[in-house]
Amino acid sequence: MLTKRIIPCLDIKNGRTVKGINFLDLQDAGDPVELAEFYAQNGADELVFLDISATEERRKTLAQLVEHVAERVNIPFTVGGGISSVADVDVLLHSGADKVSINSSAVKRPELINELSAKFGSQCVVVAIDAKQVDGQWKVHLVGGKVPTELDLFEWAKEAEERGAGEILFTSMNNDGTKNGFANDALAKLSKELTIPVIASGGAGNMQHFLDTFTEGFADAALAASVFHYKEIAISDLKKYLSDKGVLMRI
């Protein structure tokens, strides 16, 4: 049977990890490759690298990083952040990324999803959506959640699927950073309306939250950053907990 996936997210700035300070086992907690290897060895099912640097050199630095990760890490990984063209994706996939995630660039120019899935296949196109619930309506936000749009989360997710997205990575701005759990109502609706896998993001604070997002939110995968980086939850403990609760896990 297909398992649910646990995905740590690493924020990258100028080729270095931004979070991830409390790892006593690591020589250099700022080295994304070492952190990625650590997670892979401890049971992570996939990894996501989100590049938040804004320098001119960012594309080159990111491609080099992707190649170093691909050389050493034996699980799949997705790269996102500032990707806006077929050429950007070509470089990243050829450097060894398994998938890319696109966000604001897809909202600004939805045809990008069609272009990427036609050229590289749907399996490597993750459409990331940041959304916030305002007056009962889930509205898509851009630029890391800072800029609101009139787009409805569910309509946009459906359009992304129809245009060829292989997965949806949904981050709830209401939940992100709260450590109060994932946005399971919205996730359940997404999962029901879409035929492609949905990755839950935003709000993980404890192990119960992961259980809830799989059983109530029907998420196919759950992504988190700080609970893993600050060692509040060890991935191996989390997967054993979920498995004991009846969620299919790769252990």
Active-site annotation, residues: 11, 130
Q: Tell whether residue 123 is a contact of other proteins (CB under 8 A).
A: yes
Annotate each residue in 124-143 with x if it binds other proteins (CB under 8 A) or - if it does not, as one string. x-------------------
Helices and strands counted in the chain (H then E): 10, 11
Of 30, 82, 110, 197, the one binding other proteins (CB under 8 A) is: 197
Q: Does 115 bind other proteins (CB under 8 A)?
A: no
Q: Does 243 engage in binding with other proteins (CB under 8 A)?
A: no
- Rg for the chain, CA atoms, rounded: 17
SS3 category, 161 = helix
The span of 11-19, 24-32, 119-127, 237-245 binding other proteins (CB under 8 A) equals 119-127
Q: Which is closer to other proteins, CB of 164 or CB of 202?
A: 164
- Residues 165-194 close enough to bind other proteins by CB under 8 A: 166-167, 194
Q: Does 246 bind other proteins (CB under 8 A)?
A: no
What is the H or E stretch that residue 53 is in? none
CB 230 within 8 A of CB 22: yes
From CA 114, how far away is CA 29, in angstroms rounded?
38
User: Taking the mean position of all CA atoms in its chain, how far away is CA 41?
Assistant: 19
Query: How many CB atoms sit inside 10 A of residue 175's CB?
Result: 23
Q: How many residues bind other proteins (CB under 8 A)?
A: 34
